[in-house]
Amino acid sequence: MYAAGATVHRTRRPYPPPDNSKHYTEVPPRTVKQHNAIYCAMKRLSIDFGVEDMQPMEKIGVLIALLLFALLAVGGPIYIIRYALS
């Protein structure tokens, strides 16, 4: 009925024979673009703001707004401290 020495399950039915027609030793090369470690870390930690969806002029406007905000955030307290100490 069954070949001698076949591995059997507890239901007494033999397992199917292994499929030797497939070889898993060759791994295809990645088709995804490789990035460095800093880019990967920033990508994991960052929030997607949709910068890729903006028009070029919108990107420039956002950059100018961020620079003005940074100047205000840094320069504002410095101005207040200098004014208070004078």
The pTM for the full model equals 0.41
Query: How high is the mean pLDDT of the chain?
Result: 78
Sorted by sequence, the CB contacts under 8 Å of residue 54 that are 6+ apart come out as: 62
Total number of domains in the chain: 1
In a domain, 81, yes or no: yes
Model confidence at 18, pLDDT cuts 50, 70, 90, reads: confident
In a domain, 42, yes or no: no
The domain in which residue 66 lies consists of 51-85
- Tell me what pLDDT residue 24 has: 66
Closest CA to 13 of 28, 30, 1: 1
In a domain, 1, yes or no: no
